[in-house]
């Protein structure tokens, strides 16, 4: 018995010792080593704090910034990313920051171009990207236009009772983009798709809450917070729902009721799930992952673009008039069509200027998968590279002293001319081999929605609107978007 007790205490002691070594290595040695490597190359940043990294300080700065109101200007960078703004001032355009124990090199300097850093790209990932590219371009995209028009039509039908009254369009656009996403992703199964997206919305809120929470070493593996338990539950429910739709489609093919899994996005994924080539085959988790990406990447962002474009047109009614004149010239009072959509030059300029001032996503992240050279810097392989392009979009050195003014005419001769051929000055859809595959989809959806609204209404800002852009996955108006609509009939 005595021997057993000694053995037990010795084993416990050994486990504690290994745990201590693990914590010391990951949470002290690695972090200090990275700080040393970077500072010896002139890159400084807020010092790493045990477990939390810089998250406590960042949360504090955000809390303060988001509790204040701002004037109705487009100089939004200090409010949207107060920590990045303040660290740049203190440490320079490129600095080292800590998301918990994860080191991030934050880049806001156009000289340092990040696409030479490659996140590992498996064959399967390349295939997933190809699939998404196929689903959201060319003929497939053209085939989605009627669903987009039908969804905008449903939204505008509801607006008829609200004529002349104030309307909160943030929620309206949320329903619209969610419906378009469900219809285009899930086709005939779109009602089930909507349920999945509802769960994803809940999951988004929870992920937002737990993002900056410290992950306590070892204990975090055994003890889960209420939010983490809830998010695991939602993950499981989403997986079950996607599996249910996949099974339904498989059964229909097996019983001969239909001859394919469908031509919507989910249909393409189910095809890939059945790929005879194992290397290319997607697992059910991959299928769920793709649905999630589509939702997060597609719905949230397009929603944001629509909101800020509408806000800017409500403020700058001269541009609203120009946009309407163009829509009437191209479509008259008919519904938009794919050929006409490509002719909307003024609206393209307005959308680009909106994306510059209010980019729905403010940064892209790349992982160094090996030690790499970036400009004069040698980066250790555990580093994330965070390109905060909102800083570039608001940099007077790139855009001139009128950088914070809404001037769509900058883009009159295209993006290359507006940026002086400096690709990193304007990258709302990211860049390089990981850039957004849904760009055409979301621009098409935005153009259709704007055209159909402009054909029917004039709109202005309501006196109750409070200007408070907030990055919550995508850039949102914190207190909603209140506008006044007047029918043109
Ligand atoms: C205004 C709307 C949108 C904006 C501003 C936007 C922005 C972005 C950005 C910044 C990235 C990261 C690129 C990078 O890492 O370099 C991205 C990736 C992605 N976007 Fe979008 N996006 C939008 C709409 C959409 C839509 C509608 C879809 C789907 C139909 C979509 C699907 C994706 C996917 C799948 C990726 C990952 C690409 C990859 O990793 O290979 N996005 N998007």
pLDDT in tens, 426-454: 999 998 778 898 899 999 999 999 999 99
Mean pLDDT for the stretch of residues 292-307 = 86
Atom 9 of ligand 1 has which residue's CA nearest to it? 429
* Whole-number Cα distances in Å, 477 to 37, 87, 170, 259, 310: 40, 24, 8, 45, 12
Please provide the average confidence, as pLDDT, over all residues in the chain.
Answer: 87
Q: What is the pLDDT of residue 216?
A: 57
Pairwise pLDDT comparison (347 vs 260), residue with the higher score: 347
**What is the predicted pLDDT for the residue at 284?**
85
d(CA 443, CA 430): 15
Q: What is the pTM of this model?
A: 0.88
CA distance 309 to 290: 28
Question: In which band, very low, low, confident or very high, does the pLDDT at 118 lie, cut at 50, 70 and 90?
Answer: very low
Q: How confident is the model at residue 19 (pLDDT cuts 50, 70, 90)?
A: confident
Percent of the chain with pLDDT over 90: 48
Q: Choose the most confident range, by mean pLDDT, from 174-178, 232-236, 320-324.
A: 320-324
| Nearest ligand 1 atom, CA 305 | 1
| pLDDT single digits (tens) 143-183 | 889 989 999 999 999 998 887 889 999 989 988 998 888 88
Mutate to test the pocket of ligand 1, among 115, 436, 450 (most ligand atoms within 8 A of CB): 436
* d(CA 446, ligand 1 centre) in Å: 15
Give residues (CB < 6 A) around ligand 1. 129, 132, 136, 293-294, 297-298, 301-302, 305, 360-361, 364, 428-431, 434-438, 441-442
The domains found in the chain, sorted by start residue, are 2-487 (1.10.630.10)
Q: Which two tokens stand for residue 445?
A: 């959806």
13's tokens: 């002691």
CA dihedral sign of residues 223, 227, 231, 233: positive
Residue 116 has pLDDT above 60, yes or no: no
Question: Residue 401 above 80 pLDDT?
Answer: yes
Q: Hey, what are 363's tokens? A: 């940064």
pLDDT, position 371: 72
What does the pLDDT read at residue 88? Answer: 96
- Per-residue pLDDT, 390: 94
Residue nearest to atom 8 of ligand 1 (CA): 429
374 against 190, higher pLDDT: 374
Pairing of β 102-107 and β 384-387:
parallel
């Amino acid at each position: 018995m005595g021997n057993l007790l000694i053995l037990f205490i010795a084993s416990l002691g050994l486990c504690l010792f290994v745990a201590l070594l693990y914590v010391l290595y990951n949470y002290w040695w690695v972090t200090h080593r990275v700080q040393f490597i970077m500072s010896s190359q002139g890159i400084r940043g807020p010092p790493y704090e045990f477990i939390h990294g810089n998250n406590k300080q960042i949360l504090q700065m955000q809390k303060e910034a988001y509790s204040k109101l701002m004037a109705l200007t487009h100089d939004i960078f200090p409010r949207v990313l107060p920590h990045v703004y303040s660290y740049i001032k203190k440490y320079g355009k490129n600095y080292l920051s800590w998301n918990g124990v994860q080191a991030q090199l934050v880049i806001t300097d156009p000289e340092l171009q990040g696409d030479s850093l490659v996140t590992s790209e498996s064959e399967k990932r390349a295939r997933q990207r190809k699939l998404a590219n196929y689903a959201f371009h060319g003929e497939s995209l053209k085939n989605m236009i009627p669903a987009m028009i039908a969804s905008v039509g449903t939204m505008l039908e509801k607006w008829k009772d609200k004529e002349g009254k104030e309307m909160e369009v943030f929620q309206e656009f949320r329903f619209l983009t969610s419906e378009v996403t469900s219809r285009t992703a899930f086709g005939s199964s779109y009602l089930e798709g909507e349920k999945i997206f509802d769960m994803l919305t809940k999951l988004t809120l929870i992920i937002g809450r737990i993002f900056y929470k410290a992950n306590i070493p070892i204990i975090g593996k055994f003890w889960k917070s209420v939010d983490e338990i809830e998010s695991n539950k939602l993950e499981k429910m989403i997986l079950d729902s996607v599996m249910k739709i996949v099974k339904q489609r498989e059964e229909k093919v097996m019983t001969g009721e239909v001859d394919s899994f469908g031509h919507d996005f989910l249909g393409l994924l189910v095809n890939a799930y059945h790929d005879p080539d194992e290397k290319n085959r997607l697992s059910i988790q991959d299928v769920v992952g793709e649905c999630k990406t589509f939702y997060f990447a597609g719905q949230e962002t397009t929603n944001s673009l629509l909101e800020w474009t509408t806000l800017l047109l409500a403020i700058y009614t001269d541009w609203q008039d120009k946009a309407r004149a163009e829509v009437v010239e191209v479509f008259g009072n008919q519904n938009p069509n794919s050929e006409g959509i490509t002719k909307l030059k003024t609206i393209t300029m307005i959308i680009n200027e909106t994306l510059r001032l209010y980019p729905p996503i403010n940064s892209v992240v790349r992982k160094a998968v090996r030690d790499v050279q970036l400009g004069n810097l040698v980066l250790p392989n555990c580093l994330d590279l965070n390109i905060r392009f909102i800083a570039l979009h608001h940099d007077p050195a790139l855009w001139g002293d009128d950088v914070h003014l809404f001037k769509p005419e900058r883009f009159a001769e295209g993006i290359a001319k507006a940026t002086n051929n400096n690709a990193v000055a304007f990258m709302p859809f990211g860049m390089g081999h990981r850039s957004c595959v849904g760009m055409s989809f979301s621009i098409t959806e935005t153009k259709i929605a704007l055209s159909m609204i402009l054909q029917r209404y004039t709109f202005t800002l309501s006196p109750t609107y409070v200007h408070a852009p907030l990055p919550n996955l995508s850039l949102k108006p914190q207190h909603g978007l209140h506008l006044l609509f007047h029918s043109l009939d």
